[in-house]
Each structure stands twice: as C-alpha cells, then as structure tokens.
Amino acid sequence: MNSLTDIEVKELSLRAEDIRESIIKMLTTAGSGHTAGPLGLADIFTLLYFRVLKHNPKHPDWVGRDRVILSNGHCAPVLYASLAHSRYFPIEELNTLRKFGSRLQGHPHRESLPGIETTSGPLGCGLSQAVGMALADRLENYKPERYFYVTIGDGELNEGQNWEAFLHLNKYKLNKIITIIDRNSIQIDGFTEDVLPTESLRNKFESFNFHVIEVDGHNFRDLYTAIGQAKSTLEKPTVIIAHTIPGKGVLEFEGDFHWHGKSPNKDEAKQAIKELRTLRGKIEKE
C-alpha cells in the first residue's frame, strides 16, 4: 500500500467532517442515541469506506467484498452515515434513525440495510462472528483474499467473549481479520480505567501473540500505514489500538463520558454543526 498524498488526506478529512455533521443531524432528529463514539470513529470509518475497502455500493452482496463488522453496535450512526455517503442508500434516509419502521434502528440489523454485515447489539459478539467468517473462507479456500475489519469499543473489552475470540484468532492464525480497538477511554458509566481497568492493552495483546500497532485514530496517514502493516503481517493476526477522542470535533462533547449514550438537543446540535463547519472551512483553505 502506497502512502496517502496530501490531496487524499484533505479529501478524507473533508469527508469525515461531512459524516460527523450527518451524525449530529440524525441523532438530533431521532432524539436519542449515542454521540461520543460515532464522532470519534468518523475518521476510521471514512478511511475504510473511501480508501481501504474492496466494496461496491451498487452490488452490496458482491462476494469478493471486504467486510466491516461493527461489534460496538451502539456506534451505528457512524456506520449508517458512512454507508449513506458511500451511496448504499439515500443520505436523506439518515433522518429516519430510530423511527418506528425505519431500516436504521439503534443497533444495526443485517437484513435491514445494504452493506450491513452482522446484527449487533449485545457487546462482545462481533469478533466471534468475524472468526466464523474467516474460518469459513479458509475451509472453502476462498479466492481472491478478502479482509474482515472488526471495530471493538475499549469498554466492550469488559466482555469475556472477546478474549475467547482472541484466543481463536491466535490458534488459527487468522491474519485476514484486522481488529481495530476504539481506545477512547470512556464507557457509559465513566472512564474505562475507573470502571474496569484494561491497561496495559499492548501487553495483553502481545501476550496473546498478536502483532500490535498503536496509532492516533484521527491521523489518516498513520491509520493507513497501520492497515498496510497488518496486511503484510502473515505469521500472526494484528490488533490496531486506535487512540481516539470521544465526541471528536465538538468541544463540548470531547472527552466527556456523559455523551456516550445521549443525543444533542437542537441548540447543542446548532453549536456542534457550527464548529464542524468552521473546521471544514479551515481544512478547505489548507
């Protein structure tokens, strides 16, 4: 994988701000949902959908596609916004988030929307689902190769099922699974290290015999390089620990765990969009 050019980084940055604005709008219209995590993950999902993935929005069931498994399903707004901006479905449909009868429920449902690979809600399940998919590919000797990108919240690591899945990744050397930990250090009850400490994550994953990469989850170049390194590491699976800022882009939301599970009201949304558009303007001038 070649490094990203300045133009590509700028395009991705602008796209990420569009996705963040969509997240704010859909959550405000819904009147409920999760704000901090989706905003923090926007750069990662932008890079995946607009630079990394093999996928085809016109043919969402194309068998050769890479797969994105959102294990932290409460972050569905960032997945929905990324899919809509990738033209899997109309952007206007984002306004139906959490509405009765909508295809965009609070947690993704695999058969509701094109581009949704797994149903998620109960935390800790996504990696196990990816293990099953990757093992099936191996048993079927599937060609050409495809990758499974699994996002996991750091608070979600409280779930023991994740660690059973990590053991399986190591045993079967499932290097087509690239696990991305959203290390934003918050969960619904507070800061992760106060609720149930998980550090040192690097030491834990290395003891499971993983290739571990730590990156700034908002730096497109570092993220892109990390994914390239993961693809070129054949002898063991890779975990990318992406350090992100929850609520990224909106000063009032950033780093505040209270925004984990609530949506902005109209005034808060107006200020948030103002900040995001100001940042977008700065990026355009660079």
Domain span at residue 221? 6-285
Tokens 């499971």: give the residue: 208
- The count of structural domains within the chain is 1
**What tens digit of pLDDT does each residue of 230-241 get?**
999 999 999 999
Residue 1 is assigned to a structural domain of this protein: no
CA distances to 62, 153, 204, 240 from 188, in Å:
36, 11, 23, 23
Nearest to 83 by CA among 11, 5, 23, 9: 23
| pTM for the structure as a whole | 0.97
Residue 238 is assigned to a structural domain of this protein: yes
Nearby residues of 24 by Cβ (< 8 Å), 6 or more positions away: 35, 39, 250, 264, 269, 272, 273, 276
Residue 231 is assigned to a structural domain of this protein: yes
- Show pLDDT as tens, one digit a residue, over the chain (286 residues): 779 999 999 999 999 999 999 999 999 999 999 999 999 999 999 999 999 999 999 999 999 999 999 999 999 999 999 999 999 999 999 999 999 999 999 999 998 999 999 999 899 999 999 999 999 999 998 888 899 999 999 999 999 999 999 999 999 999 999 999 999 999 999 999 999 999 999 999 999 999 999 999 999 999 999 999 999 999 999 999 999 999 999 999 999 999 999 999 999 999 999 999 999 999 999 8
Residue 236 is assigned to a structural domain of this protein: yes
Residue 146 is assigned to a structural domain of this protein: yes
Nearby residues of 159 by Cβ (< 8 Å), 6 or more positions away: 123, 124
**CA-based radius of gyration for the chain:** 18
CA distances to 47, 151, 231, 274 from 221, in Å:
10, 19, 16, 27
254: domain CATH number is 3.40.50.970
> How far apart are alpha carbons 184 and 157 in whole angstroms?
12
Residue 69 is assigned to a structural domain of this protein: yes
Residue 132 is assigned to a structural domain of this protein: yes
Residue 201 is assigned to a structural domain of this protein: yes
